[in-house]
Amino acid sequence: MSQITLSFPDGNSRDYPAGVTAAEVAESIAPSLAKKAISASLDGRHIDLAWPIDASGEITINTLKDEEPALELIRHDFAHVMARAVQEIWPDVKVTIGPVRDYGWFYDFDRAEPFTPEDLGRIEAKMKQIIAARDPVRTEVWDRDRAIAYYKERGEPFKLELIDRIPEGEDLRMYWHGDWQDLCRGPHLQHTGQLPADAFKLTHVAGAYWLGDSDRPMLQRIYGIAFRNKADLKAHLTMLEEAAKRDHRKLGREMELFHFQEEAPGMVFWHPNGWTIYRELEAYMRRRLIRAGYKEIKTPQVVDRVLWEKSGHWEAYRENMFIVEVDEEGAKEKRINALKPMNCPCHVQVYNQGLKSYRDLPLRLAEFGSCHRYESSGSMHGLMRVRGFVQDDAHIFCTEDQIETECARFLDLLGSVYSDLGFQKFDIKLSTRPETRVGSDEIWDKAESALEAAILKVRNDFTIDPGEGAFYGPKLDFKLTDAIGREWQCGTFQADFNLPVRLDAEYIGEDGGKHRPVMLHRAILGSFERFLGILIENYAGKLPLWLAPRQVVVASIVSDADDYVHQVVDRLRAAGLRAEPDTRNEKINYKVREHSVGKVPAILAIGMKEVEAGTVSLRRLDSQGSRTLSLEDVVAELSAEAAPPDLRG
């Protein structure tokens, strides 16, 4: 029998017969390790303990202490155990697929009757019984004919279709959790008892078309979440409760910021309060870009398909574009245009006007560009995923030698903006060359090295995502962490050697010859709409004073104070504050409560005592007490606080 050599994380290695399993490797190291083992990683590939290993490589034995592989297996096995529980309770239900997702999994079922909340409780109880049984998990590789016959006999049409989609020659791996079987690529745990019975929860049911196709059957999708232990589950459920309180859609109604309606799906109707926040954020970003050396432009929203064909978007992005057909006078056929889904090709058109020299580079062109992309109705979610949005988009045209410097400048700007907006923590991911790409390896080497060197000038805690770069160049992605620990991907920085060639962008070099510029795509916020949703949820609607749409409400305690209320409002407005009076015939406690729901940061209460003394009573949002200040002092205090962070002394 041939031998293979397996290397371990500590640098040691051992020889084993070819075909040895990871479980046998773990046993050879220590029986205690074999008992705790849940899977293995072989040359970076996650494998099942039961799979044979036929070639030498680097191996790591995983246990529940290894968070990433442990969570993947736990959630994957929970999906199978849930599907088994469903079929044990309702044998006529047909099963489909159950992938792992963020924090948990889902599984789609074909069932005539809708699942109810009570049903979820029954399924959870059955799952706990299966876990307690400690049923073994086993796997076999079957040929295609055997698998087809098996599922035909059991009347599982969805599994038969999945087999048709698996390429010829690829293994069909069958897994059993006890006596229940599923088609799955694995890996899985060794037995159901390795699942933490107190660390999972079924959350909700939703409809989902089979394979996401609206022409296919509508299925029922059950979602679940799972963690390694009860404490992690409890922490996540607490976070979900807090997230529900912060839901920007709920706060949008309470604060009268925006709404959506069926006549314009995925398009935002901004109300005065919401549009105020939008304008303040846009003004702040415009000032930051001007200081950073960007020149603002504006490009058309409707562009002929010819440009999209040249850029490559028509072929790669057509299904996400809104098409506009125009009957041109005297034309034999309609002219096909599209609402722009992105700004890049239009920015190249601005660059191409007039001859450019190396002395003109880098040229930084910025646009708050209105874009439209088709999103399915099921994927849209408030401001977070819309069909019409504005990007804080910019493109830097530069030489190859300028990539590193421009990237470093951008990282400084991005970090400063995020800090100003209340996000102190963000992560950076460097995505490198994919298998399918344009450009030479030499150019890719240069671009990747430049981006990595630029990051290291600012910070050294970044991760590399191999093979996930764009086809035209490597990219950086930036993930913010909000007040309750959620991550949001917002900013991006991409090096593009392809589009300048496709759209014939050039500059005259120092040698007098023509050269192609590098095009750096970059965004800080991403889309204004989505970022505003993130901001609203991060602050739970309690925006800093400079962004708050209603900064100050001056409320009368008695009607005799109304004249003074209006004098105070006038003084605040003269100082540049967004102030409004509330002289309704309501009790002051009612007014305070109502404006607190609307997340007004400052409420000035005025009664006759304040009128006679020329003072105001200042109450801050969420504060139980109040302070009495002179009118001049409160104007000075609020004015200083309301200054945008980039304009403060």
Residues in the annotated binding site for Zn(2+): 344, 395, 521
Q: Would residue 344 show up in a list of annotated catalytic residues for this protein? A: yes
Measured in degrees and rounded to the nearest 5, phi and psi for residue 250 equal -65, -50
Cα torsion for 158, 162, 165, 170, to the nearest 10°?
-160
Q: Which of 393, 477, 496, 582 is catalytic?
A: 393
Instruction: Extract the annotated binding site.
Output: 344, 395, 521
Regarding beta strands 475-481 and 627-630, do their DSSP bridges make them parallel or antiparallel, or are they unpaired?
Answer: unpaired
Q: Which of 76, 475, 515, 619 is catalytic?
A: 475
Question: Taking the mean position of all CA atoms in its chain, how far away is CA 428?
Answer: 14
DSSP 93: P
Q: How far apart are CA 149 and CA 172, in angstroms?
A: 13
Q: Which of 80, 177, 246, 373 is catalytic?
A: 373
Q: How far apart are CA 93 and CA 87, in angstroms?
A: 6
Q: Which of 395, 433, 437, 591 is catalytic?
A: 395
Provide the sign of the torsion angle of the four alpha carbons 603, 607, 610, 611, taken in this order: positive
Q: Would residue 373 show up in a list of annotated catalytic residues for this protein? A: yes
Q: Would residue 102 show up in a list of annotated catalytic residues for this protein? A: no
Reduced to 3 states, what is the DSSP secondary structure of residue 578? Answer: coil
Q: Would residue 391 show up in a list of annotated catalytic residues for this protein? A: yes
Measured in degrees and rounded to the nearest 5, phi and psi for residue 408 equal -60, -40
The length of the chain in residues reads 649
Q: Which of 184, 344, 346, 398 is catalytic?
A: 344
Number of H helices, E strands in the chain: 20, 35
Does residue 518 contact residue 399 with C-beta atoms inside 8 Å?
yes
Q: How far apart are CA 341 and CA 351, in angstroms?
A: 19
Q: How far apart are CA 538 and CA 246, in angstroms?
A: 8
Q: Which of 126, 313, 446, 521 is catalytic?
A: 521
Q: Would residue 571 show up in a list of annotated catalytic residues for this protein? A: no
Does residue 567 contact residue 278 with C-beta atoms inside 8 Å?
no
Q: Would residue 346 show up in a list of annotated catalytic residues for this protein? A: no
How far CA 586 is from CA of 316, 589, 591, 592, 630, in Å, comes to 60, 8, 7, 10, 25
Q: Which long-range contacts (CB under 8 A, 24 or more apart) does 200-208 make?
A: 200/78, 200/104, 200/124, 200/127, 200/224, 200/225, 200/226, 200/227, 200/233, 201/124, 201/225, 201/226, 201/233, 201/237, 202/82, 202/120, 202/123, 202/124, 203/104, 205/114, 205/115, 205/120, 208/108, 208/378
Measured in degrees and rounded to the nearest 5, phi and psi for residue 634 equal -70, -35
Helix (H) or strand (E) holding 642, with range, is helix 631-642
Q: How far apart are CA 407 and CA 493, in angstroms?
A: 8
Locate 184 and state its tokens. Answer: 């799955």
Q: Which of 391, 402, 494, 551 is catalytic?
A: 391
Q: Would residue 194 show up in a list of annotated catalytic residues for this protein? A: no
- Active-site positions read 344, 373, 391, 393, 395, 475, 521
